[in-house]
């Protein structure tokens, strides 16, 4: 039995998955734009619903590809004399996988989790830097706000270069941020030495920083850009 057409079909499905990922990236940026522009919470929530819809499509696509791959592997393993009904076998496996679905699956989607994390960070940054000052503020309140701003600005500094970050990336494991080029250079150097990389942030116990654990911190980048404009 030739599976060339199946391999081609799986390749096409993986391309579809890349389109879903791109859509989720765009939805995340739009949501951050909305928060940064102080748009209505309902507008931001609508983007979260879009992310959940994308997550559902991604899950369905993963299940279909898994069902097809398992079916093909089963046929290769059993080597039946007669050509089986491939479509029927795939449908059975796909239905079994889909029957195990739950809403919590969507909440665990990596892109969706990143979306929620970035929204949280963006709201924190906007609270510190984007809020209009109230002319009637008491002096003590102004001092507290200045301290909060100073503390946030300290988060702009890369623990490696000790300079303001231009392309910050966040470590998904420990939550610390670094300048992208700086941390990747350390990872590459240590890899050649066959050594692990300890998080450069003082006091952090995470001792195995990997490139795969790093994600762009769009919210922090926007906060830095906003502060520089001011």
pLDDT score recorded for residue 129: 59
Name the one residue in this structure whose structure tokens are 């990997």. 210
pTM for the predicted model, two decimal places: 0.74
**How many CB atoms sit inside 10 A of residue 190's CB?**
14
pLDDT along the chain (230 residues), means of 10: 77 91 95 85 91 96 93 86 84 95 91 93 73 45 44 76 94 95 96 94 94 94 84
Q: Where are the domains of the chain?
A: 3-129, 168-228
CATH class of 168-228: alpha beta
pLDDT score recorded for residue 18: 92
SS (H, E, C) 4-64: HHHHHHHHHHHHHHHHHHHHHHHHHHHHHHHHHCCCCHHHHHHHHHHHHHHHHHHHHHHHH
Name every residue whose Cβ is closer than 8 Å to that of residue 216 and which is 6 or more positions away in sequence. Answer: 167, 168, 169, 170, 180
pLDDT score recorded for residue 124: 81
């Amino acid at each position: 039995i030739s599976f060339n057409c199946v391999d081609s079909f799986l390749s096409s499905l993986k391309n579809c998955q890349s389109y879903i990922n791109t859509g989720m990236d765009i939805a995340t940026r739009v949501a951050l734009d909305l928060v940064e522009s102080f748009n209505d919470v309902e507008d931001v929530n609508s983007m979260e619903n879009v992310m959940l819809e994308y997550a559902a499509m991604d899950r369905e696509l993963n299940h279909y590809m898994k069902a097809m791959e398992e079916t093909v592997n089963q046929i290769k393993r059993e080597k039946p004399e007669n050509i089986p009904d491939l479509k029927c076998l795939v449908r059975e496996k796909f239905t079994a996988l889909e029957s195990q679905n739950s809403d919590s699956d969507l909440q665990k989607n990596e892109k969706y989790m990143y979306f929620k994390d970035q929204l949280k960070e963006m709201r924190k940054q906007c609270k510190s830097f984007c809020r209009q000052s109230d002319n009637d503020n008491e002096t003590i309140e102004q001092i507290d706000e200045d301290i909060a701003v100073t503390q946030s600005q300290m988060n702009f500094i890369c623990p490696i270069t000790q300079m303001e970050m231009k392309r910050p990336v966040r470590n998904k494991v420990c939550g610390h941020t670094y300048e992208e080029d700086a941390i990747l250079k350390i990872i590459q150097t240590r890899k050649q030495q066959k050594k692990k990389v300890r998080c450069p942030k003082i006091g952090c116990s995470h001792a195995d920083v990997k490139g795969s654990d790093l994600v762009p911190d769009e919210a922090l980048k926007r906060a830095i850009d906003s502060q520089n404009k001011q």
